[in-house]
Amino acid sequence: MIEKIIEEAKKHFQSVEVIHYNRTTTPVSFEAGRLKGVSETQREGYSMRAVKDGKLAFSTTTKPGDVEGLIKQALETIQYSPAMDFDFSSQASFASPVITSKETREITVQQMVDMGKETIVAISGLHPKARAHAGVTKSHFKTEMATNNGFNGSYEKDTFSWGCYIDLTDGDNMLSCGEGFVGIKDEARKKEKIEKLIQTFKHGQKNVKAETGKYPVMFAPSAFLHAINILLASVGGKSVERKVSPWTDKLGTKVTSDVFSLIDDGRIDFRNHSCPYDDEGTPTQRTPLIENGVLKNFLLDKRTAKKLSMKPTGNAFKKSGIFNPPPEIDNAPVISQSTIFMQPGAKPHSDILKNIKKGFYFEELIGTMMGNPLTGQLAGNVDLGFLVENGEIVGRIKDAMVSVNLFEALNNSIAAISSDVEVSGFNGEMVLPYILLDNCTVAIG
């Protein structure tokens, strides 16, 4: 089908790129302790980018064999299309990370249901008014891509996710906490996550008072990913090209403390965001963004790389939003991270916590991307946070907000980074340690 699309499209366009996606997803969900749903969905489609008279058209179809419709849509929109200022990929060599799993493919629906039941049993009964929820999902993804310039590639990917959460409404006390992981089936990890969830839930049932002020704050990976998303806005090629990034002219200079390093890696085995090439046909790679405090690279697609006289980094993907949902055929490629890895420190987070005389531990934040991320300001509500005194969690704080300027904090206020890391994000897009920052402004309502 791809070859037929290219052959027909060449009659109307000077250059053509076609991608075929096929995804099968099987989710099993439990709500309030009961099996809510079991389903299997399949989504298949083709997308085409094509160049005519110096303009770049984009079209998609989910109708099998709809070559004519795909080309017609591109021709109808060409007059509204942007200028074409880069070349489609030509023949390239690339090797694939390990992203397929026979074990994941062979997991049956009954096994997924049993996993959900076991999870519900493990997290139920902690409070008479608490509700237990769980979900297990597996997905198989196939894609192929070709251009009339000679590029031809394909790969398959298997993904697996498991998660659970507990919510409680008891008078004016509303509490929700959850855990999960993505990658491959891992019973030991599931057990660890359940134990952590139970402990967090127990801590969260006790509400304590605190005062507004500046405190040391330990951010769990699930909270600090909001800070990383803000930093990614400054290393994105689009903001650099427009010269709105504060780091536009700072390649090779120090932008954080030398204990801070951040890497984008599209080639880590068994990660949801790993693949042999991006959605423009550029081989993926390991890209140091910040290395020992020094800004090393930006994330670039073909267009921004050409504008900036640099090389593309393999970070053009059919995704949208900061949470990087799985690729969708309807989206044109945009600059997006692969898996973000932050360099860990020397001590486990439990030891770091013990050294906090008075401060906070934050598990979840919300509303942090409502402002302009290019200012470096991390500001939002604390969805799940705890007061720490003499190295112990004493209870949950409510109606709290945190405000930190990351550009300043990552230079002057990093007190510790943990040796243990966790896969974080809705789709496992980050691998982060815990981090302790001094002098964070915490406002208590």
What's the pLDDT tens digit per position in 179-214? Answer: 999 988 888 999 999 999 999 999 999 999 999 999
Of the chain, the percentage scoring pLDDT greater than 70 comes to 98
Closest CA to 277 of 247, 226, 331, 317: 317
Distance (Å, whole) CA 78 – CA 376: 38
Q: What angle do CA 107, 111, 116 make, to 5 degrees?
A: 120
CA-CA-CA-CA dihedral for 217, 218, 220, 222, to nearest 10 = 20
Distance (Å, whole) CA 376 – CA 362: 19
Q: Residue 42: beta bridge partners?
A: 24
Buried b (16+ CB within 10 A) or exposed e, 134-168: bbbbbbbbebbbbbbeebebebebbbbbbbbbbbb
The SS3 assignment for 104 reads helix
The predicted structure's pLDDT at residue 185? 84
DSSP state of 86: S
Closest CA to 172 of 207, 198, 197: 207
**321-333: pLDDT as tens digits:** 544 555 678 889 9
**33-71: pLDDT as tens digits:** 999 999 999 999 999 999 999 999 999 999 988 999 999
Extended strands (E) in 113-271: 130-147, 152-170, 173-183, 213-219, 262-265
In order, the DSSP letters of 290-309 are: EETTEE---B--HHHHHHTT
Element (H, E) at 234: helix 221-235
The predicted structure's pLDDT at residue 327? 63
Six token digits for residue 365: 């934040």
Q: Is the pLDDT of residue 316 over 60?
A: yes
**Alpha helices (runs of H) in 327-389, residue ranges in sequence order:** 349-354
**221-276: pLDDT as tens digits:** 999 999 999 999 999 999 999 999 999 999 999 999 999 999 999 999 999 899 99
Closest CA to 29 of 110, 179, 133: 133
What amino acid is encoded at 324 in this protein?
N
Return the biggest CA–CA distance within the chain. 73
Spatial contact of 177 and 363, defined as CB atoms under 8 Å apart: yes
Q: Report all structural domains of the chain as residue ranges with CATH numbers, in order of start.
A: 2-203 (3.30.2290.10), 206-445 (no CATH)
The SS3 assignment for 438 reads strand
**Alpha helices (runs of H) in 236-301, residue ranges in sequence order:** 237-241
Six token digits for residue 369: 């991307």
Distance (Å, whole) CA 59 – CA 392: 56
The predicted structure's pLDDT at residue 56? 96
Distance (Å, whole) CA 349 – CA 418: 5
How much is the mean pLDDT over the chain?
A: 94
The predicted structure's pLDDT at residue 322? 47
Distance (Å, whole) CA 284 – CA 212: 45
Q: Is the pLDDT of residue 23 over 80?
A: yes
pTM over cut 0.75: yes
Of the chain, the percentage scoring pLDDT greater than 90 comes to 87
